[in-house]
Structure 1
Amino acid sequence: MLLAGDAESEEQRALLDEVGAAGVRADVLKVAHHGSPYQDPEFLDAVDPALALVSVGVDNGYGHPSAVVLGRLARGGARVLRTDVDGDLAAVRTGAGQLAVAVRGRDPPW
């Protein structure tokens, strides 16, 4: 699992340069900075996640997440889930050791 925090293109590139593609490979990626467009495409390709989780607020004023970033992840084979659409998300391993995701839908607006 790779939790990318708020790392954007420059930090992602520096990490990739430091540890190489194999060093950032992860089954689960918590997409950096709410899925902003400032993602290094080579970094996303190197991580090559099976599951990409985007923590983002509903109707945020920044336009996050980026459709380009989500599309790149999906085309790379990742299952992309977002907290603004899907609610709370948790990556888990089943008893058989398989990757799964637990989803609790969004709370209704009050």
Structure 2
Amino acid sequence: MKSLVPFLIAAAGVTKVQAFCFEPKMHESPPDFYFVSKPSAPYCLSGYRYSGTHTCNDWEIDSYLSDVDRHLAELNAYVDEYLAFANEAAAKYEEAVEFAQCSAQAATEELR
């Protein structure tokens, strides 16, 4: 990748040929990281870590587990969104390589 950067910069400097080579553009910016607050465990679970017992009612446990499930779904949605962006960026990288090769080839053909 590092050895490709000077080549890309040199190829991008060719102005006459750029009309025939299509320069890739990113259509989206990276997804914003939105803070998803972790659900707080109910007070009735405060001693569970030490004693292995709790004083929670079933509805309190169910509510907490629903909050945890919702939290995980939000985090997974964020990861999926970022993965889609990363895949697009990888595709644009391939297009950038093709653009650089096209520009370099056009520039060398112009010298002939």
- Which band: TM-score by shorter chain? under 0.3
Give the TM-score normalised by structure 1.
Answer: 0.23
Q: Rg: which structure is higher?
A: 2
Give the TM-score normalised by structure 2.
Answer: 0.23
- Structure whose residues are more often helix by fraction: 2
